[in-house]
């Protein structure tokens, strides 16, 4: 069963329920309500493995706020029928059920609630720790979920200790630059935004990941200097004072592996370095020598010597394992051969040991159990994240007042045709564009209501900004919902104006720069309300990939 505003989130034979986006917590609470009131909740699982179910149940049944989270209540919020929800809850309790909540549901306002509610629902079903049951996440979009991890530490660099205590959540970059000296809450603690004069950015692109790009541009106007490392002329690189051209992974030697992939692979440089491109390691080493601690930074190893060193260290871990898959060869032989195979467990049943004996194998929560009620979080006293899963109506959704002005719910999800903003100029991503613009998918009836047809270029807008996009009609998108994936490189019509329309289709000119809640202050870019109209003006050229005029080569 797929519950999603987009039909093609799953393939083939799969039942599809399309609720109003943003209503998932209400839906899961209603399912929990049916389990609780029809005697279908696994009370002995809740007693043995969880904390605070009773407090959650008081909320669920409306004892604390006067609102029982009934299927009728959730039907109004979600657009699904109460009957559908009742039947689904009974079905879930009658067979092996895995509850999985897509990561996207965290990337919205109050994004802590959906995974927490999903885990609570799975706990009520009592199947956590059983093969094929319980709770899982990350399926479909990531390569690792469901596969067993390798039992060795991977060959990675020691991270070091940062002497600077100042800290911000990633999604607070504009706040950091615009509000120096102000306090903010995060995970039960209070921090102060420092006054930043220099920004040094390597390996990330806020013009891809951050919300409300107009506000970000004002923020980037505040520091004295911005340095960016990137292999490409991304919008972030164009906003820098100093740009260091980095090599791509194809231009340097490296190791690759992930926590649950049995192969450690020698990544040989495939092409020579392009012009002045440098490895980030060489740039940072050169800076460290200029600053007087070069040898401490490099430990006198070149990049290749590091690979050899890390491999050797890792090889020691593997050789100590009597059940290893194979004896890893010496570095030179490994480098020639190109890979070595590691051992993984055949099967992975998450939380199996915990289920077996929660005293012997407790969870890494304060109580060692599944915290349906968290005394810690409750103690923070946040009005946007209570001590147990709870429904909070978001601002950017079709069930609220803002939808009267902006009646379409835009899903800004991960793109199929690239990784984030990377290789947007490449052939695969380019083939999806419509008259050079990022495709926006919409239901044919929503298009008719606006006299739009397939292939039209439209202006997508709200009170924060606007962008152009190319229309694709698809009845696999719920009515009232449109989908414009992230990753089209920001391309302002007037580069001097931070609020300028993006002529290419970057949805983050529209999204709100507000965190999930005080608890985690995460990104909320997945959902935003918009309106759409046909763009009849002369089509502006795409300049997103043009290199800027360089004042001085250093
Ligand atoms: N091709 C490709 N793969 C990627 C990435 C990429 O950029 N490109 N990025 C990687 C990264 S870093 C991450 S974090 C993961 C992210 O993985 P996910 O978070 O799973 O990916 P998304 O595409 O953002 O969202 C998945 C689906 O959630 C659905 N959805 C959106 N809003 C709602 C809602 O309110 N309710 C319900 N029920 N469903 C909703 C949408 O239909 C969307 O297609 O993907 C990884 N994989
Ligand atoms: N609206 C909205 N916004 C979102 C999301 C969403 O769902 N909706 N999803 C969020 C999520 S889950 C994520 S993970 C973020 C992703 O956001 P980012 O990770 O910031 O996006 P990328 O485009 O992958 O940026 C990586 C950059 O690193 C550069 N790079 C690659 N290799 C190297 C190298 O060797 N050296 C250096 N110096 N640079 C290199 C690439 O060229 C690229 O510019 O976006 C977030 N933003
Ligand atoms: Mo991500």
Quick one: which H or E segment has residue 76? helix 71-78
CATH for 173-256+263-341 is: 3.40.50.740
Please tell me the predicted confidence (pLDDT) of residue 247: 97
What's the pLDDT band for 480 if we cut at 50, 70, 90? very high
Q: Which residues contact 390 (CB under 8 A, 6 or more apart)?
A: 25, 59, 113
Distances (CA, A) of 239 to 259, 419, 491, 525: 35, 22, 12, 22
Supply 97's token pair: 């059920």
Q: Is the pTM of this model over 0.85?
A: yes
Ligand nearest to the CA of 170: 2
408 and 529 Cβ atoms separated by less than 8 Å: yes
Q: Is 158 exposed, middle or buried (0-12, 13-18, 19+ CB in 10 A)?
A: exposed
pLDDT band for position 182 (50/70/90)? very high
Residue with tokens 């200097």: 225
Atom of ligand 1 nearest to the CA of 414: 23
- Which range, of 2-11, 104-113, 136-145, 156-165, averages the lowest pLDDT? 136-145
Looking at domain 23-148+350-380, its CATH superfamily turns out to be Dimethylsulfoxide Reductase, domain 2 (3.40.228.10)
Residue 413 CA: which ligand 1 atom is closest? 24
Going by C-alpha positions, the residue among 541, 548, 494, 502 that lies closest to residue 213 is: 502
pLDDT at 252 (0 to 100): 97
Domain chopping of the chain, boundaries: 23-148+350-380, 173-256+263-341, 401-534
Nearest CA to ligand 2 atom 27: 204
Which residue from 511, 234, 213, 531 is spatially nearest to 398, judged by alpha carbons?
A: 531
Q: Is pLDDT of 550 > 90?
A: no
**pLDDT, tens digit (0-9, with 9 covering 90-100), for 24-46:** 999 999 999 999 999 999 999 99
- Cβ–ligand 2 distance for 281 under 6 Å, the answer no
540 CA distance to ligand 1 middle (Å): 30
Q: Is the CB of 118 under 6 A from ligand 1?
A: no
- Enter the tokens of residue 57: 């149940």
Distance 442 CA to ligand 1 centre (A): 17
CA–CA dist 192, 196 (Å, integer)? 12
CATH topology of domain 401-534: Barwin-like endoglucanases (2.40.40)
The string of pLDDT tens digits covering residues 274-328 is: 999 999 999 999 999 999 999 999 999 999 999 999 999 999 999 998 888 889 9
104 CA: nearest ligand 2 atom: 7
Q: Ligand 1 centre from 140 Cα, in Å? A: 9
Whether 365 lines ligand 1, by a CB cut-off of 6 Å, is no
- Angstrom distance (rounded) from CA 430 to CA 230: 21
C-alpha dist (Å) from residue 89 to 36, 63, 94, 117, 310: 10, 21, 9, 14, 50
| pLDDT tier at 549, thresholds 50, 70, 90 | confident
Largest Cα separation within the chain, whole Å, is 73
How much distance in Å is there from the Cα of 192 to the middle of ligand 1?
32
Token digits of residue 516: 């999930």
Protein residue with its CA nearest to atom 43 in ligand 1: 413
278: Cβ below 6 Å to ligand 2? Answer: no
Residue nearest to atom 17 of ligand 1 (CA): 141
State the DSSP H helix or E strand holding residue 243, giving kind and residue range, or none if neither. Answer: strand 242-245
Per residue in 388-446, pLDDT (tens digit) is 999 999 999 999 999 999 999 999 999 999 999 999 999 999 999 999 999 999 999 99
């Amino acid at each position: 069963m797929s519950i999603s505003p987009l039909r093609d989130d799953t393939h083939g034979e799969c039942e599809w329920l399309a609720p109003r986006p943003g209503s998932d917590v209400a839906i899961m609470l209603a399912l929990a309500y049916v389990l609780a009131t029809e005697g279908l909740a696994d009370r002995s699982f809740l007693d043995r493995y969880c904390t605070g179910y009773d407090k959650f149940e008081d909320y669920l049944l409306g004892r604390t706020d006067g609102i029982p989270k009934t299927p009728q209540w959730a039907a109004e919020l979600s657009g699904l029928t109460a009957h559908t929800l009742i039947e689904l809850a009974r079905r879930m309790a009658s067979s092996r059920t895995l509850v999985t909540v897509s990561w996207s549901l965290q990337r919205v306002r109050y994004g802590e609630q959906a995974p927490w509610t999903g885990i609570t629902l799975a706990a009520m079903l009592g199947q956590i720790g059983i093969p094929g049951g319980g709770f899982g996440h990350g399926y479909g979009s990531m390569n690792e979920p469901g596969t067993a991890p390798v039992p060795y530490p991977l060959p990675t660099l020691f991270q070091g200790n940062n002497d600077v205590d100042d800290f911000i959540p990633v999604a607070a970059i504009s706040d950091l630059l615009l509000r120096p000296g102000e306090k903010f809450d995060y995970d039960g603690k209070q921090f102060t935004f420092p006054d930043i004069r220099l920004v040094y950015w390597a390996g990330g692109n806020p013009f891809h990941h951050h919300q409300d790009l107009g506000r970000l541009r004002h923020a980037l106007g505040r520091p004295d200097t911005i340095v960016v490392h990137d292999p490409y002329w991304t919008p972030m690189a164009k906003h820098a004072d100093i740009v260091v051209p980095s090599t791509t992974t194809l231009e340097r030697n490296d190791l690759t592996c992930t926590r649950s992939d049995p192969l450690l692979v020698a990544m040989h440089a495939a092409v020579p370095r392009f012009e002045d491109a440098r490895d980030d390691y060489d740039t940072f080493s050169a800076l460290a020598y200029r600053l007087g601690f070069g040898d401490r930074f490099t430990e006198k190893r070149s990049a290749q010597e590091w690979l050899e060193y890390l491999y050797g260290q890792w090889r020691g871990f593997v050789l100590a394992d009597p059940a290893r898959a194979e004896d890893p060869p010496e570095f030179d032989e490994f480098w020639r051969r190109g890979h070595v195979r590691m051992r993984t467990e055949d099967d992975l049943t998450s939380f199996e040991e915990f289920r077996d004996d929660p005293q012997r194998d407790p969870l890494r929560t304060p109580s060692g159990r599944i915290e349906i009620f968290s005394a810690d979080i409750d103690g923070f006293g946040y009005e946007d994240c209570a001590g147990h899963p709870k429904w909070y109506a978001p601002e950017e959704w079709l069930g609220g007042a803002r939808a009267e002005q902006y009646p379409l719910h835009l899903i800004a999800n991960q793109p199929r045709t690239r990784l984030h903003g990377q290789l947007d100029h490449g052939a695969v991503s380019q083939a999806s564009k419509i008259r050079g613009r990022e495709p926006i998918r919409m239901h044919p009836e929503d298009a008719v209501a606006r006299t739009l047809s397939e292939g039209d270029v439209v202006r997508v807008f709200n009170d924060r900004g606007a962008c152009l996009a190319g229309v694709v009609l698809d009845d696999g998108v719920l009515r009232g919902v449109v989908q414009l994936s992230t990753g089209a490189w920001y391309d302002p019509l007037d580069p001097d104006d931070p609020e300028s329309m993006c002529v290419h289709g970057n949805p983050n000119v529209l999204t709100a720069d507000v965190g999930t809640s005080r608890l985690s202050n995460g990104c909320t870019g997945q959902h935003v309300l918009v309106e759409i109209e046909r763009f009849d003006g002369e089509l502006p050229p795409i300049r997103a990939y043009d290199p800027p005029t360089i004042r001085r080569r250093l």
